[in-house]
Chain A
Amino acid sequence: MTRSPLLAMRGIGKAFLGAPVLSEVDLTIERGEVHALVGENGAGKSTLMKILAGVHSADAGTVELDGRAVSFGHPLQAQHAGVASVFQEFNLLPELTVSENVHLGREPRRRGLIDRRAMTERTAEVLSDLGVEHLSPSAKAGSLSVAHQQITEIAKALSQGADLLCMDEPTASLADAEVELLYRLIGRLRERGVSVLYVSHRIREIFDLCDRITVLKDGRLVKCVDTTDITPDELVTAMVGRRIEAAFPDRLPGTETGEVRLRVRGGGNAWIDGIDLDVRAGEIVGLAGLQGSGRTEIAEAVFGIAPFTRGTIELDGGPVRITGPRKAIGAGIALVTEDRKAQGLALRQSVRANARMVLDANARVHSGRRLDRIPGLLSSLDLVSRGDDQEVRFLSGGNQQKVVVAKWLAAEPGVIVLDEPTRGIDVGAKHKLYSVIRSLAAEGLAVLLIASELIEVIGLADRIVVLHDGSIAGELPGGATEQDVMAYATGRRSAEAGPA
């Protein structure tokens, strides 16, 4: 008699607002198996995990747990069925102790009152089962290190009797020693017959830990293989796949790479370290790297949101101290932020009010001539709106992004940093932005481009700087292959070792 697998997801499909994120994805996990779910940013890993956890519900497909069809409409249903999830954002109550968090909502009772002693004892048992020392059940969750908070989440999952533990990028914010602890912990779980779904794009960890690997790409299943049947290089190729070459506009004629406009030497702060970066006039430099690799942190340091605490910045050859956005703007730096709704736009204000916001806010860049340029700027970006009075919240994502770009170009910066400029916008707007970026370079701006979509960085940048774990792992010329970029980004190759 063959036992059914612990989990069998078949033909899973999911779309958000009409855009398919997952289609026909299968995933099976055996008992006691550590199963990796890998793919690039946007491949659909997190969505699949959230369907499993009951956060989202699938539009198509079936989920079987222990051979029985299930359908989770709510995270609690998944928990009761034995599926526990540890997301990157923890669900702990910081003011409660470890044992209170572990037993939240299921506190052991004695004569109607919470039995604290039993609660503490049971928590201590779970922790020692996991081989965890130095974590007191009575410590406040908010005072714990990230690693210990994660352990608390895992202990909570286990005390709920989970058969399957899903972990989203569990090592993303752990130090090396803490990663070791997590490895041991996962080993213990496996011994106890608990299955683990390990969502990650860190190649090394996957080969260290996992029995099988499911690869997703663009919301589809690429393959599911035993770890022993694939090499790291093959895995990267499977993640990246072969893509139809997107049409990126060519470098504009007359674009000349000139003097260095932005120079960072030895830049570092709490998140990044040893950043050496030059961006020349007329040059587009791409920053590539996985989520959490430090791309956005570099942008934020250059723009003064979370400044460098070490190292120097030079603009057009002169040293500058960028201590905040006002300083950066005054010095001629612009930052098109990653999250246009939260950080870029005042959504209830008009197109005009948003487009002139930078000029209005900074006496150093405000001028009548620049205000007068705004209407022309908006039309050169092909903005589609019902007039400059229209509130930006009514615009499409692509047009909103054009307003953000216009707001920065109005200040006539010398250096422009674009963090995920094409996230969530339609293809037409994307291509418009690509050609805008090209023409900025042609006008002599220094452009620093951050994009999760590797193909964008490869297609647009003259040089690609690849980050891994907060440092520069290597540099590649524009047009490099995705495999090369991913090799650096996943830490399999580093600048010191040179290209393999």
Chain B
Amino acid sequence: MTRLRALAGRLTNPTGTVFILLALILAGIFVKNADFFAGPSLMAFLKQAAPLVILAAGQYFVIVSGNFDLSVGALVGAQVVIAARLIDGEESRTLPVLAVMLFFGLAVGLVNGLITTALKVQSFITTLGMLLVLYGAIRLWTGGAPTGSLSEAFRTPGRLGIEGVPILGQLPWALLIMLALGAGAIVLMRTRFGRILMASGDNDRAAALSGARVDTVRTAAFVLSGLSATVAGVLIGGFAGVSAQVGEGLEFTVITAVVLGGVVLGGGRGTVIAAMAGALAIEALFTLFNQLALPATLRPTVQGAIIIAAVAYAARQRTRPAATPATVTPS
């Protein structure tokens, strides 16, 4: 009985709600089109969802530490354009360019982090600025339209997988990468780094007075977000190819996903697994829209509604009468 109640409590808190929501959306898809759950189409769905899930994990670190990162969409776009331009169809350049992208992604995260922590610029402004800088710089560099093309090797992780797996058909590399990084993110949150990141997002003063290097862990969170955008860029570039619109608006989808996962803006609350589940829920929702033949142009509106509803729901949960102790400090 108490177990049941504990489970019920877990599911009705904002972190657990996302799993119910995900189940409901999947049920909706099932009703509309049961074939969706056949191995190959399910794998295709997960392959497409993997970049958003990975971005959600990256964004989670930043949000849980008390900031947020609006620059990820522009960074994904920049990475794809950089890859196309530098590889320019040459298979042999794939690995060196991946190294360059990795360096670039980490550097963008580091700059975001240092500006936010050392210069005390609010992360909203820092990363909004970074978004514009990246967007403008890429346009300047490419003269408006992306040039070059990606190599086959570069496109492999986003497009291909292990073939001939029973029932599933193809087991996509993207799914395996997503699972590996997701597991890594879950483990990371259980390390001392993860605990301090969480504490810094909840009460940075208390964390600092306990000896935590608050600025360092917050900067590291931005670097992790930059890393996630780099991986997502590789997968998206591989899956969808090069265009000027790659990554556009992705930052809002990611933040929607994380918030849907019950991760509270302002920090100190929520789990990374729920954030990733939020990303899956968003992707599933869009799939359901397709099944229902709703126009894709509806997506931004739906995302906006979700963000507001999710935050309002979380706020209502938090203001529920808590057994706050009566403390009196007369003076």
Q: Which residues of A contact B (CB under 8 A)?
A: 16-19, 21, 41-42, 44-47, 219, 291, 305, 325-326, 329-330, 335, 337, 342-349, 353-354, 356-358, 360-362, 366, 393-400, 407, 423-425
A361 contact from B196, B326, B331, Cβ within 8 A: B196
A329 nearest CB neighbor, chain B only: B211
Top 10 A-B residue pairs of the complex, sorted by shortest distance between their CB atoms: A346-B202, A361-B212, A17-B326, A396-B325, A424-B327, A21-B330, A19-B328, A362-B211, A329-B211, A361-B211
B92 at the interface (CB under 8 A from A): no
Q: Is the CB of A397 within 8 A of B206?
A: no
Measured between beta carbons, the chain A residues less than 8 angstroms from B324 are 393-394
B177 is an interface residue with CB less than 8 A from chain A = no
Q: Contact check, B212 vs A357: say whether CB atoms are below 8 A apart.
A: yes
B32 at the interface (CB under 8 A from A): no
Expressed in whole angstroms, the Cα–Cα distance for A77 and B260 within the complex equals 45
> How many contacts A-B (CB < 8 Å)?
109
Q: Is the CB of B327 within 8 A of A342?
A: no
In angstroms, how far is the closest chain B Cβ from the Cβ of A244? 19
B195 contacts partner chain A, Cβ-Cβ < 8 Å: yes
**A346 B199 Cβ-Cβ under 8 A:** yes
- Judged by a CB distance under 8 angstroms, whether B296 is at the interface is no
User: Chain A CB within 10 Å — which of B206, B325, B329 has the most?
Assistant: B206
Could you list some 25 contacts between A and B, CB below 8 A?
A17-B326, A17-B327, A19-B328, A19-B330, A42-B330, A45-B331, A219-B330, A305-B209, A325-B208, A325-B210, A325-B211, A326-B211, A342-B206, A346-B202, A357-B195, A357-B199, A360-B192, A360-B196, A361-B196, A393-B324, A394-B322, A394-B323, A394-B324, A397-B327, A407-B210
Residues A357 and B323 in contact, CB atoms below 8 Å apart: no
Given contacts A16-B328, A326-B213, A330-B211, 20 further A-B contacts (CB under 8 A): A16-B330, A41-B331, A42-B331, A46-B331, A47-B330, A325-B209, A325-B210, A325-B211, A335-B209, A345-B206, A346-B198, A346-B207, A346-B268, A349-B199, A349-B202, A356-B195, A357-B199, A360-B196, A361-B192, A361-B199
Residues of B within 8 A of A (CB): 192, 195-196, 198-199, 202-203, 205-213, 268-269, 322-331
Tell me how far the C-beta of A16 lies from the nearest C-beta in chain B, rounded to whole angstroms.
Answer: 5
Are the CB atoms of A346 and B206 closer together than 8 Å?
Answer: yes
Beta-carbon contact of A353 and B198 below 8 Å = yes
List of A residues within 8 angstroms of B330 by Cβ: 16, 19, 21, 42, 44, 46-47, 219
The CA-CA distance from A407 to B328 in the complex, in Å, is: 23
- Residue of A21, A347, A396 near B328 (CB, 8 A) is A21
Q: How far is the CB of A301 from chain B (nearest CB, A)?
A: 14
Q: Given A21-B330, A346-B202, A348-B269, decide whether A357 and B325 contact each other with a Cβ distance below 8 A.
A: no
Tell me the bound Cα distance from A256 to B331 in angstroms: 37
Known contacts: A325-B209, A348-B268, A361-B210. The answer to whether A424 contacts B329 by CB under 8 A is yes
For the complex, give the distance between the alpha carbons of A394 and B323 in Å.
5
Q: Which residues of B contact A16 (CB under 8 A)?
A: 328, 330
Question: With the chains together, A17 CA to B268 CA distance in Å?
Answer: 28
**Complex formed: what's the CA distance from A55 to B202 in Å?**
30
Tell me which residues across on chain B come within 8 A of A329, comparing CB atoms.
Answer: 210-211
Given contacts A19-B328, A362-B211, are A348 and B202 in contact (CB under 8 A)? yes
Output the nearest chain B residue to A404 by Cβ-Cβ distance. B206
Q: How far is the CA of A132 from the CA of B111 in the complex (A)?
A: 51
How far is A221 from B315 in the complex, measured between Cα atoms in Å? Answer: 44
Q: Which of chain A's residues have a CB closer than 8 A to the CB of B322? A: 393-394
Shortest CB-to-CB span from A151 to chain B, Å, is 25
Q: How far is the CB of A170 from chain B (nearest CB, A)?
A: 16
- Give A357 to B192 CA distance when docked, in angstroms: 9
Cα–Cα distance between A458 and B327 once the two chains are bound (Å): 24
- Measured CA separation A347–B318 after assembly (Å): 12
Task: Give the CA-CA distance A305 to B208 in the complex, in Å.
Answer: 10
Rounded to whole Å, the gap between the CB of B197 and the closest CB of chain A is 10
CB distance from A219 to the nearest CB of B (A): 7
Nearest Cβ in chain B — how far from A23, in angstroms? 12
Contact B327 A357 (CB under 8 A): no
Cβ contact of B206, chosen from A44, A219, A344, A425, cutoff 8 A: A344
Residue numbers in B under 8 Å from A343 (CB-CB): 205-206, 209
Complex alpha-carbon distance, A337 and B208, angstroms: 12
Q: How far is the CB of A395 from chain B (nearest CB, A)?
A: 7
In the complex, what residue of chain A is closest to B269 when comparing beta carbons? A348
State the Cβ distance, B183 to closest chain A Cβ, in Å: 21
- Whether A17 lies near B211 (C-beta < 8 A) is no
Query: Which residues of A lie under 8 Å from residue B198 when comparing CB positions?
Result: 346, 349, 353
Q: Which residues of B contact A326 (CB under 8 A)?
A: 211, 213
- In the complex, the answer to whether B205 meets A19 with C-beta atoms within 8 Å is no
A357 pairs with B207, CB closer than 8 A? yes
* Cα A342 to Cα B206 with chains together (Å): 7
Query: What's the nearest-Cβ distance from chain B to residue A131, in Å?
Result: 32
A412 → B minimal CB distance (Å): 14
- The complex places the Cα of A423 from the Cα of B327 at a distance, in Å, of 9
CA–CA, A349 and B211, complex, Å? 17
A366 and B203 within 8 A (CB): no
Q: Which of A219, A345, A353, A407 contacts B195 (CB 8 A)?
A: A353
Asked if residues B195 and A358 are in contact (CB atoms below 8 Å), the reply is no
Q: Smallest Cβ distance from A270 to chain B, in angstroms?
A: 20
Q: Which of A45, A361, A400, A423 contacts B329 (CB 8 A)?
A: A423
A478 to chain B, nearest CB (A): 26
Task: Name the B residues within 8 Å of A344 (CB-CB).
Answer: 206, 209
List of A residues within 8 angstroms of B329 by Cβ: 423-424
In contact, A347 and B209 (Cβ under 8 angstroms): no
Task: Specify which chain A residues have a CB less than 8 angstroms from the CB of B203 in the assembled complex.
Answer: 342, 345-347
Chain B residues with CB below 8 A from A41, complex form: 331
